[in-house]
Structure 1
Amino acid sequence: MLLEHISAEKLRNLGGRIGLGPGLNILVGENGQGKTNWLEAIFILANARSFKTAKLNEAVRFGEDLGVVRGRVRRSEEIRRELQVAIDRNIKILSVNGKRISSSDYLGELHAVMFNSETLQIVRGGPEERRKYLDECIAGVHPPYVRTLGDHTRVLKQRNSLLQNARDKEFSLERIAELLEPWNEQLTILSEKIHRARIRMVERLNQNLEDDPFGSEKIFLRYASSLEGKGDLADYKALISERLRLRVQAELAAGYSLIGPHRDELEITADGRELRKFGSSGQQRSAMLRLQLANIAVFQSIHNEFPLFLLDDIDAELDYRRIGRLFEYLEGKTQTVITTSKESMVSQFGTKGAVMDVVSGRSAARHKMAASGPSPLT
């Protein structure tokens, strides 16, 4: 898959259009000019969400009601599609070739993987960051998974509301168990789907983590279910159903659901040591980059094409030696868009791809070089 060009209207400070090459694309400019905003626009076009804010309407320029991002995607020599994401207050309107479509259909058209300082929270932050990472990896290769996650969140909210209400009204345990039963049935089905999908994704990521462009530590992922030691995880559906029945009193006292994949953890280790606790900043950055490269490799193995790779302020996170190795690894694979404020980056790597200057939200091509190696479409 190849993003040939992208344009933005009333999205942050952006204006005009950027044409992108098939390999490396470097957006260069002073801080505050809009380089990261262009990455956000690409990410929105690809994934119908922002990496900068949970509320997509916050990406619309202040004082405006409607923001639009458009782009043309080439999936093969014969197939090109015009994509559009329109943000109208709190409504997201997705279109392909001028026809409005659902989110689940749209998400198969283009995909982008992000690496920036915020993604480092996946390694450094709490369990919810790692669960989110894992879920995004799964949704990238299987968009209907988004619906499963949404249904699971909805059931949890309803169940939590019931637990809080029952606690306040001092219902008997028998009555509470009766009221919880239909929600437990739904939660069991959805939790088993999420558990199975996460376990499979961890297996795929571990397989691809063995391919290390940096020659560094052995990175390994382990999915740690909150139900470990409580029974047979191989029969997860039966196990969670049993635990939901046994833990009614504890959940009533807490006032929220204590059982399920929303309590699980993804452990990330380097040479057997937990990175969150014992890894240096450099080790954590390298590990996160390798996780995203593994994410890209999993996507390619399933769809036989590469997603876009977006790297913001790359020279703030990696030294030039590692950046050089990264570009060698990516050559002929992904269409890559990076940002930098340093001319030394352009001097070092500018001949490997297209260089575009970004000033006041607009981009002008400085020069373009033909990408070497096979097209990212293959």
Structure 2
Amino acid sequence: MEIVSVTVDGFRNLAGTLQPRPGLNVLWGNNGQGKTNWLEVMYLLATTKSFRTHQPQDFIAFGASAAHLRAEVRRRSIPVTLDLHLEAGRKTLLVNGKRVSLGDYLGQLVVFAYGREALDVVCGEPGERRRFLDRGVLSLKPAYLQALSDYNRVLKQKNALLRAVAEQADRRTWLASLEAWDTQLVTLGAELHIERARYAECLDARLTRQLFGAEQITIRYRSSVADGLPATAEAFQSAMLEQLARRRPAELAAGHALVGPHRDDLAILMDGRDVARFGSAGQQRSALLALTLGQLALYRERCAEPPVFLLDDLDAELDAGRIATLLDYLQDKAQTFVTTTKPGLVNGPAHRQQLHAGRFVYPAKDAEDGQMFDTPLLETESPPCDLSHH
């Protein structure tokens, strides 16, 4: 899998087209010039989500009513065009010029991203780790989106019913409706539990190679329903039904669902200890990088093609020795995009592209040593591309 070009219009401060090459691509420039914005565009085109905000209006350029993103992708030598049209409250998805559903869109471009925004996977709330697992499952099995969407829809309906029941003096008339929602949650929850548990197990098996230091990173899926039980639908459903019956009074009192995989977590351990509680900031970043590289390796193995790897703020996250080790490891494993204010930190072959005010500069010049990089890209003042007719 390879990104051939990315074109933007109306997105933050960006304008023009990014034309990367296979292998390592270095986006460099001073702070505030749009380096991370370009990574965000690629992440959005792959996942339809931003790794920085949940509000579409936050990344639509000032004065614009919408943003247009387009990627030309090559998958197993087959060209694919992806278009993402963003407006406040609405996203339009196109593959090869045809409007498609989210389920048909996901999987056309697969990216894995590492940066400080993703540290919530290690240090944040359990919901961040559940989303990490779900994104991993979706990269291998886009059809998983349907089960995930159905589970969240049913959970929302049950929570609404529990809130309504809490206001009623006689709750017996509502029990049949609650049991109907529970039946659906048990069936859908079993699918989420099995897919997450299997993905975590497969990912853990690919975390054995340590790039940095001697610490051993391991992960384990923590099910709130069936922890320690076989990862089968029968075992999960039996356990969840028992917990639902036992915790019905607590759910009625709380006014929301207390049982199900929406309360699960992922244990991330370094030498057997919770890295969020006991690890240093550097160890937490190393753990996140190990998880991300493990996802990359698992995808390559299962899908027989390399994904795209995004690494934001290279020199702030890693020292020079670790940068060299990481980039050497990534050779031939993924098309890689890194951002930095110091391009001289990247040794060896790379396609370096300088940014100023969201636009690519030609010719690019290393501000540190005056070296001129051969980057036949856009002129500094190239106008935004109009994709509105798509």
TM-score (norm 2): 0.89
Q: Which residue of 1 is the match for residue 281 of structure 2?
A: 281
- Whether 2:361 is the aligned partner of 1:364: answer yes
- Give me the whole-angstrom Cα distance separating, in 2, the residues matched to 1:289 and 1:230: 27
Residue aligned with 2:259, SS? coil
Cα deviations by residue, 1:61-97 (Å, 9 ceiling, x for unpaired): 12211210112111133x1122111113322111122
Q: Which residue of 1 is the match for residue 378 of structure 2?
A: none
Q: Which residue of 1 is the match for residue 380 of structure 2?
A: none
Deviation at 1:309, TM superposition (A): 0.6
- Give me the whole-angstrom Cα distance separating, in 2, the residues matched to 1:28 and 1:350: 14
Letter in 2 for 1:115: Y
Question: Counterparts of 1:9-48 in structure 2 under 5 Å?
Answer: 9-48=9-48
How many pairs are equivalent? 364
- Residues 42/229 of structure 1: CA separation in 2 closer, same or farther (3 Å cut): closer
Letter in 1 for 2:184: Q
- Whether 2:188 is the aligned partner of 1:207: answer no
Choose between structure 1 and 2: higher helix proportion. Answer: 1
Deviation at 1:159, TM superposition (A): 0.5
- Residues 126/29 of structure 1: CA separation in 2 closer, same or farther (3 Å cut): same
- Residues 347/353 of structure 1: CA separation in 2 closer, same or farther (3 Å cut): same
Cα deviations by residue, 1:268-299 (Å, 9 ceiling, x for unpaired): 11111110110011111111001000011111
- Whether 2:333 is the aligned partner of 1:333: answer yes
Letter in 1 for 2:126: P
Deviation at 1:182, TM superposition (A): 1.1
- Give me the whole-angstrom Cα distance separating, in 1, the residues matched to 2:245 and 2:230: 16
Deviation at 1:215, TM superposition (A): 4.4
Residue aligned with 1:69, SS? strand
Instruction: Please say if residues 353 and 368 of structure 1, whose CA atoms lie closer than 8 Å, have aligned partners that are also in contact.
Output: no
Letter in 1 for 2:334: T
Q: Which residue of 2 is the match for residue 375 of structure 1?
A: none
- Give me the whole-angstrom Cα distance separating, in 2, the residues matched to 1:359 and 1:283: 33
Q: Which residue of 1 is the match for residue 249 of structure 2?
A: 249
Question: Counterparts of 1:63-74 in structure 2 under 5 Å?
Answer: 63-74=63-74
Q: Which residue of 1 is the match for residue 240 of structure 2?
A: 240
Q: Which residue of 2 is the match for residue 374 of structure 1?
A: none
Residue aligned with 2:346, SS? helix
- Whether 2:346 is the aligned partner of 1:349: answer yes
Q: Which residue of 1 is the match for residue 110 of structure 2?
A: 111
Q: Which residue of 1 is the match for residue 54 of structure 2?
A: 54
Deviation at 1:232, TM superposition (A): 7.5
Please report the RMSD computed on the Cα atoms of aligned residues, expressed in angstroms: 1.8
- Residues 327/176 of structure 1: CA separation in 2 closer, same or farther (3 Å cut): same
Deviation at 1:54, TM superposition (A): 1.2
TM-score (norm 1): 0.92
- Whether 2:165 is the aligned partner of 1:176: answer no
Task: Determine what percentage of the aligned residue pairs are the same residue.
Answer: 40
Letter in 2 for 1:358: L
- Give me the whole-angstrom Cα distance separating, in 2, the residues matched to 1:228 and 1:48: 32
Residue aligned with 1:213, SS? coil
Question: Counterparts of 1:218-237 in structure 2 under 5 Å?
Answer: 218-228=216-226, 234=232, 235-237=235-237
Letter in 2 for 1:102: S
Q: Where does the alignment leave 5 or more consecutive residues of structure 2 unmatched? A: 365-372, 376-390
Residue aligned with 2:267, SS? strand
- Give me the whole-angstrom Cα distance separating, in 2, the residues matched to 1:216 and 1:113: 24
- Residues 230/49 of structure 1: CA separation in 2 closer, same or farther (3 Å cut): closer
Residue aligned with 2:167, SS? helix
Q: Which residue of 2 is the match for residue 198 of structure 1?
A: 196
Instruction: Please say if residues 73 and 81 of structure 1, whose CA atoms lie closer than 8 Å, have aligned partners that are also in contact.
Output: yes
- Give me the whole-angstrom Cα distance separating, in 1, the residues matched to 2:50 and 2:302: 24
Deviation at 1:228, TM superposition (A): 4.8
- Give me the whole-angstrom Cα distance separating, in 2, the residues matched to 1:309 and 1:232: 34
